[in-house]
Structure 1
């Protein structure tokens, strides 16, 4: 029998998977995931299904294995492959957003839409337009092959399509290699939280069984059977992977290694000659047997990496179209290349293309890429990401830079700022550009990085390193350096490198005169007092300079940005006039970008209000910020708001579920140091009040050390104060004093005493424990002078507490008891119940020290119960011990499980009463506690019944008199 004629293998061993695929897609909408390793047969399964008669209308897209794939490239290419006319009559004005992606359809698409400032909004609009196009074309199934190579925006579009599915809607079929899908890939979300009614199927293709391997080999060899020994050999050597089986058979036939004997095919020299262990080896050897022209065409096709026309392959191969067509026919006949109905060609298997490409000598690859780039430049529209890739590999820096910048521009227009950063940073890292071009690309990369949804990740670190490197380029002008330092400084703020950020911004400001808005914005950042050694007066001068520039800026959006950030910065400085600016700020905006800006401003104002102790104001501004952030789906901003709302809940005594919230926030914000440390600080507070001393100390120490390292000096104060109190409880007054030295120096140096709410009382206690009453008195006096003229309730309550501590140390217990009473009332007015209860505890101790045992014990017992119910179990245990020392019986309080409260107020009722005492209306209480008005009314009536009153005013008075919350109405 002559040498075997190798045929295309028959589709075998996948009957069950094919039936499952058809069944799922017969119940639309459906999502089918086809997963498996390279060469396992994913594409063949889909081709067989698509080739069956009476199939639904399918749009097929393939993700190429490029270093930088064009944003949404697979989806765009799939649409361009549709031969039917564009149904203009079924498109709305929204389809105008598609013009940048489909310039060749310009005569059929509606007019272009106005650009959006917010990248996320632009991306959402583009997704809606693509979805409309799918429906207009009446596409039933969208197929995405090799999704492990898909860009993030393409995967986001699939999630978007899936979220909009309705009955009989579009189905999705996605193939991918699971081993190449990262843990954080959006692919993993495609099977979670599916809309109701979506059919779900996951097909995991496994290697073929030995009998299927035999059937596949037989189908390639005239349908004649193969020997059992040959079957075992093939299955053992290939692992049952169809591609490996097919390639091995072709190689053996090329080498005349097969013989037909006794009615079946057997392999000669079964032990002596082995099947090449990898598809790469088999592919290279098979390709080497083709003609030189065919080998040249295959090298060109491997370089191009995507389906390409005969003309494009010919130019890349350096052959005439006629010679290339003959060579393509030869390669296709050998089963290496595969064509489609548009006469475009590519390798039948990616592994084979990779094998051929890697065999190209390095000295020749540059020429192939250069020719590929020149060929692709003739396409309309030019595939800029592919062009950047080819000219990069060709070493053609000028062309590479041009197409990389164009690709970055398109990526940013689609909302894919990460792709833009990758293109530009790659260009800056591996090319030699003229200084002016290098500066321009670096500035654009910095701006793109600021627009990323991710924060501090490897891309962030890479762009920061690159921008710093570019700043060292000889020949950059002062203006060019300033335009790089400006975004770099803002990036460093995001990364928590506060001190470094101020250095970059200070250097940038001096040379931003040509751009008043950017200069004013940089000055505003320099006016923020969170870092650096500057006193408040220096920060204030920067803010005043920014205000002078802002007055000359016409853009309302720019003025809003500057005014809002200036107001927040003034709050951080403790400047009373900030509240006048805050009063004039809007609570919404006309565009998505302005709404996000308004949201950020209100977050910062909420943070400032927390520092001042103006908790009602904080509640109001954070609610505005959250509403806008949720409306714009700004997840990072929502995390910021929720962290500050958690801080507000801590201060106002709403601790139920706070530990879980803090843990979730910490986990979500691990990539953002400042926010992560804020969540850890919240966990540390809860640990300290619960009596988990070791955890609290470790967490506060982490916050202190990391905040100091990052230069965020304002974040060191509370942690130092908390550690001081913990160590003072141990009797280690020297260590308690030492930990507050540097934070107090910071406050004194900057002159911002509104920051010292926690620090000053802790420092005074440590000084008194060390026997240095004069220093403690001087500190209290300095604190009072620093707060003069400022309506900052929290620092003023801390000042009252500090005065009481001094009276206790002087032995004047009667006046101390009165002072603690005033402090408790001041804390309650905020409301800040935990600190109010601690002040009442000190008041009780002062009464006991006077010899007024009975009222002291009664007051101490009241604080025990309230601390316990609040959740401060560690403090409650300490108070219980003091009660026992004074001969009092300590009641056993409920420590878990559901319970009734009898005539005692429940924790939920206490929350409501606390806010009534603070002067809140039922509607405000409903919003603050996230309860319905009916629930608030019910709990309010229950509290009034238990305290035997019949009005809100009487309830507040009775609550204060009973020691529930010490305050006056």
Structure 2
């Protein structure tokens, strides 16, 4: 085709919007998933690939038209306001909330919907805990969507979503009994590293539709079809289509823009070099789009071009009046200019009369052509226009005034945006705003001191890292205008943050320098509590104890009750972590206080439950953790609930409740944004793998946890994985590696004097030393362990000490005494209960009895150990016991090597456990809670038991169980 320049408008071919081309399979997949609500559909692809068009086609199909759908779009702002896309979608799609049956929880929505405060319930009490506040906000917003009967929530450009929006989408997707289907579009290359959005594809809901649709480029044939549809069905030669395909790589947006320019010029666009895709953050637009948009915009009149520039500066759909004001055009003839701009095809008008660019890349291309002076002026006009709204969008105002160079108004709105983010529980967004303010050299030092106090120390994920904030605070300290107490406040924050990134020594030094100059007692007490946490490899426990005692002495009536409660939780936690018995009385006194707030009670339950597990007080740990989970569900505290559930998983590992453990641990391990939860769940999964699965997989995970503990400066974190890995090496007769793995962890325990921490590492270290013929060192370590525990009566540490002593005696060849020592150790582990460790001790007891010639007593003991290990799932250990039995002429039950165990018409151990609890009068939910299983799993196990007994009711099952001599379980 040879196109000549057109001489008149009538010579140009008519130009249509492109037909929906090349996406039929994807549309069928999308609609198929939505046919099974609640569905989760992820639509991914690069900019301009056709994600929005696919979604528009979906919304226009009869299958979806009859369902209530809300469409949200995430704006390309660095600091998006909390939940802004969903809030905007509700505001645009709903006229009001009258007639809705909203619970008191909906009062939490007042900061997000100030225009509806007259119909929203009163605001509930303020929660100081970020996780609790955010989760409560999500529950309230989900309730609002439910009341509005929303069935499909579409969120486009999720790669730009604020953290709270992503969390809300995950909350909706994994909420029990949800009826809202999600359709999310995003660019995978622009997703933040480690984005939690991956959880939606890695953990699809079992009872809803699920699809992950990746849009690719169009082929040559599809390119020809799309171009033809725009040219009124005109035939397109193969050569023409191939040329367009070659220069656009089949990107639908690039094809569409090229065809529009072809029509405008009546000629072929000159061929550029190969298409280069760059992320938008590079402030670069692909050459084809840039040239096409620039030339099309250049064909418009100067006033229409001002409309385009205003739309590019605003970067979001806005009303005509706002667009005209930012363009600085007279209102009267502006309608004509808007119509001209719309006719150019770069802008579109949505169903609410708002105008915006049809494609982000086109907007970026126009924005890049605006001179710096005019760009600043347009941003200022945008800020003035938006600030006149009844409810100003403070995050967008901060963006516009910063681009305008108006520091005073930028800082005003950025701080307001940070405050609103904090009030909504979105601490990540707050950190972004506050960090930008603190990094500004023009901001006065006194203002920065106030802002520093707002920084949430433990919320540093996303695009602003903790290391960046630490550098910024260090620069703030260099401000010579700060008063002494102001400098101390900044220094205390800096010290706490340095300790968070593993720089314990430097952080502790900053805190110690800050304490004497802090003006408020509560600030000094908080700094002392931070120093009282057992960190730093070479800081003795006695030093931490002195700081905790100092904080306790400061807690009088001058400190507000809420702060006192928070400090008491921290003091009890710090004492118990170091093995100080006094921590239990502090904790008990704390929980007995009727005036204690809900937030601190929940944290106290979690921390005391975790401490009880570490001490080996398992019954108390389960009671506290169960209460913490119930508290979290009652008060909507997602993070605390997840932490309690993960600690419960760890407790179940210790207690041998291994059914479903891998799945529960893996589910929590997907919470990468919560490092404490993630690391502990990875650890539990690795411990299970080490005993029941792949040694190679276990080693990788164990080393990951050890490395993360070292990197983050969490001194006690590497102890358990190091012990597990060293135990694997001892089993492989690689003594040198076991010694190497245990050397530094054991040295940290000894240097700090936190001998409670030795419960995992000491027995393995003693074993390695004895295997290396270093008996004197092993003896010295056992003596130091016993002396170091002092009055610490932690059952887990005492059981570990019994195991250490048994290793010593066995290593000396005193097999009769060793058998008795191992029997004591086994009994101690059984009392916790910690059945896996108990069975390993019984195995060693039996082996020592054989070595001492007590075959008649040893073989039945070992046979029972073998069967119990098989039942537990510890195949490798069971195989080792089996080899010992066979070597002495006894038979061993075959070890299960994987796959489903077959029990025939007999109840499996898990079915029997559930059935006995049912006989005791417990309901399915009560059994599920007691065993930490889902009600669905318990119901399935009871149904299986009924099938095996040939009955159809639980009453008949109870009769059959009783006749079979099965007794109710004690609980």
Q: What is the TM-score of this pair, normalised by structure 2?
A: 0.76
In structure 2, relative to structure 1, the CA distance for the partners of 1:553 and 1:834 (3 Å cut) is farther
1:399 aligns with 2:389: no
Shift of residue 401 of structure 1?
Answer: 1.6
1:819-858 equivalences in 2 (<5 Å): 819-858=821-860
Distance 1:773 1:240 in 2: 73
User: Which consecutive residues of structure 1, in runs of 5 or more, have no partner in the other structure?
Assistant: 220-224, 258-266, 917-921, 957-969
Q: How far off its partner does 1:407 sit?
A: 1.8
CA distance in 2, matches of 1:249, 1:900: 69
Provide the secondary structure at the position in 2 that maps to 1:794. Answer: helix
Aligned to 1:70: 81
Asked if 2 retains the 8 angstrom alpha-carbon contact of 1:384 and 1:406, the reply is yes
1:648 to 634, 641, 651: 651
* Matched residues, number: 917
Q: Indicate the residue corresponding to 2:552 in structure 1.
A: 547
Q: Match of 1:414?
A: 424
Aligned partner of residue 278 in structure 1, secondary structure: helix
Partner of 1:353: 363
1:499·1:532 contact (CA, 8 Å) conserved in 2?
no
Aligned 1:28-427 pairs, distance under 5 A: 38=48, 42=52, 63-74=74-85, 76-77=87-88, 86=96, 88=98, 99-103=110-114, 115-119=126-130, 149-151=160-162, 153=164, 184=195, 189=200, 210=224, 213-218=227-232, 251=261, 255=265, 257=266, 278-308=288-318, 312-313=322-323, 316-321=326-331, 327-328=337-338, 330-332=340-342, 334=344, 345-347=355-357, 349-362=359-372, 364-427=374-437
1:605 maps to 608
- Measured against aligned partners, the alpha-carbon deviations of 1:598-651 in whole angstroms (never above 9, x if no partner) come to 333333323322332222222222222233334455454344334433332333
* 1:870 positional shift: 3.5
Write the deviation string for residues 710-766 of structure 1: whole angstroms up to 9, x where unpaired.
433333444555565555566666665565444444333333333323444444445
Conservation of the 8 A alpha-carbon contact between 2:227 and 2:259? no
Shift of 1:380: 3.4
Secondary structure of 2:716's counterpart equals: helix
Aligned with 1:561 (options 566, 569, 586): 566
Q: 1:808 and 1:486, CA in 2 relative to 1: closer, same or farther beyond 3 A?
A: same
Change (3 A) 1:582 1:780: same
Per-residue displacement from partner, 1:381-428 (whole Å, max 9, x unpaired)? 333222222222233322222221122222333333333333333444
Give runs of aligned pairs for residues 761-840 of structure 1, distance below 5 A.
Answer: 761-769=763-771, 773=775, 776-808=778-810, 812-840=814-842
What's the counterpart of residue 222 of structure 1?
none
Residue pairs, 1:429-828, within 5 angstroms: 429=439, 432-444=442-454, 446-447=455-456, 450=458, 452=459, 459-461=464-466, 463-475=468-480, 476-477=482-483, 479-484=485-490, 486=492, 502-503=508-509, 505-514=511-520, 516=522, 518-552=523-557, 555-586=560-591, 594-632=597-635, 634-659=637-662, 661-662=664-665, 665=668, 667-668=669-670, 676-679=678-681, 681-683=683-685, 685-686=687-688, 689=691, 703-704=705-706, 706-722=708-724, 740-769=742-771, 773=775, 776-808=778-810, 812-828=814-830
Q: Residues 657 and 102 of structure 1: is their aligned pair in 2 closer, same or farther, counting only changes over 3 Å? A: closer
Secondary structure at 2:656's aligned position in 1? Answer: coil
Quick one: structure 1 residues 381 and 466, their matched pair in 2 at CA, closer, same or farther if it must change by over 3 Å? farther
In the superposition, relative to structure 1, how do residues 655 and 495 fare at CA in structure 2: closer, same or farther (>3 Å)? farther
1:261-311 per-residue CA deviation (whole Å, 9 max, x = no partner) reads: xxxxxx699999xx9973432332233344444434433332223345566
2:10 to 4, 18, 29: 4
Q: Distance in 1 between matches of 2:264 and 2:907?
A: 91
Contact preservation (8 Å) 2:262, 2:269:
no
Deviations 1:521-541 (A, max 9, x none): 332332232444232222222
CA distance in 1, matches of 2:69, 2:886: 79
- Distance change (3 Å), C-alpha of 1:242 and 1:165: farther
C-alpha deviation, 1:162, in angstroms: 8.6
Q: String of CA shifts for 1:829-867, please: whole Å, max 9, x gaps.
A: 222333333333443444444444443445444444444
Change (3 A) 1:435 1:229: same
Give deviations 1:40-90, integer Å, cap 9, x for gaps. 5957995999999x9999877655444434334455556666897x57566
Residue 371 of structure 1: CA displacement? 3.7
Once the two structures are superposed, what CA deviation does each residue of 1:792-848 show, in whole Å capped at 9, x if it has no partner?
Answer: 222223333444444445655444443333333222222233333333344344444
**Kept in 1: contact 2:448–2:476 (CA 8 A):** no
- The superposition leaves residues 237-261 of structure 1 with CA deviations (integer Å, 9 ceiling, x where unpaired) of 7788886677556645655x4xxxx
Distance change (3 Å), C-alpha of 1:485 and 1:814? same
* Contact map agreement 1:213 1:234 (CA 8 A) in 2: no
Q: Distance in 1 between matches of 2:962 and 2:68?
A: 67
Relative to 1, partners in 2 of residues 1:652 and 1:396: Cα closer, same or farther, differing over 3 Å?
A: same
The answer to whether the 8 Å contact 1:870/1:907 transfers is no
CA RMSD of aligned residues (A): 5.7
Contact 1:626–1:641, Cα closer than 8 Å, also in 2 = yes
Describe the superposition over 1:344-367 as per-residue Cα deviations: whole angstroms up to 9, x where unpaired: 654455444332211123454333
Alignment check: 8 A CA contact 1:238 1:244 kept: yes
Task: Find the aligned partners of 1:691 and 1:252 in 2 and give their Cα distance.
Answer: 62
User: 1:895/1:364 Cα in 2 relative to 1: closer, same or farther (>3 Å)?
Assistant: same
Query: Contact 1:793/1:830 (CA < 8 Å) preserved in 2?
Result: yes
1:559-587, Cα deviation, whole Å (9 max, x unpaired): 33222332222222222222223334439
Is residue 72–residue 153 contact of structure 1 (8 Å, CA) maintained in 2?
yes
Shift of 1:440: 3.4
2: distance between equivalents of 1:63 and 1:925? 40
Change over 3 Å in CA distance of 1:495–1:598 after alignment to 2: farther
Report if the CA contact (8 A) 2:485-2:518 is conserved: yes
CA contact 1:338–1:346 (8 Å) conserved in 2: yes
Change (3 A) 1:680 1:787: same
Structure-2 separation of matches of 1:469 and 1:135: 47
The DSSP-based 3-state class of the residue aligned with 2:10 is coil
Decide which of 13, 17, 24 is 2:19's aligned counterpart. 13
* Aligned-residue offset at 1:231: 7.8
Aligned match of 1:893 = 894
Deviation digits for residues 95-140 of structure 1, max 9, x if unmatched?
Answer: 6655544555666766666544455665566667767877999999
Q: Distance in 1 between matches of 2:33 and 2:886?
A: 73
C-alpha distance in 1 between matches for 2:39 and 2:187: 17
Q: Using a 3 Å threshold, how does the CA distance of structure 1 residues 191 and 231 change in structure 2: closer, same or farther?
A: farther
Cα distance change, pair 952–75 in 1 and its aligned pair in 2 (3 A): closer
For residue 965 of structure 1, what is the aligned residue in structure 2? none
TM-score, with length taken from structure 1: 0.76
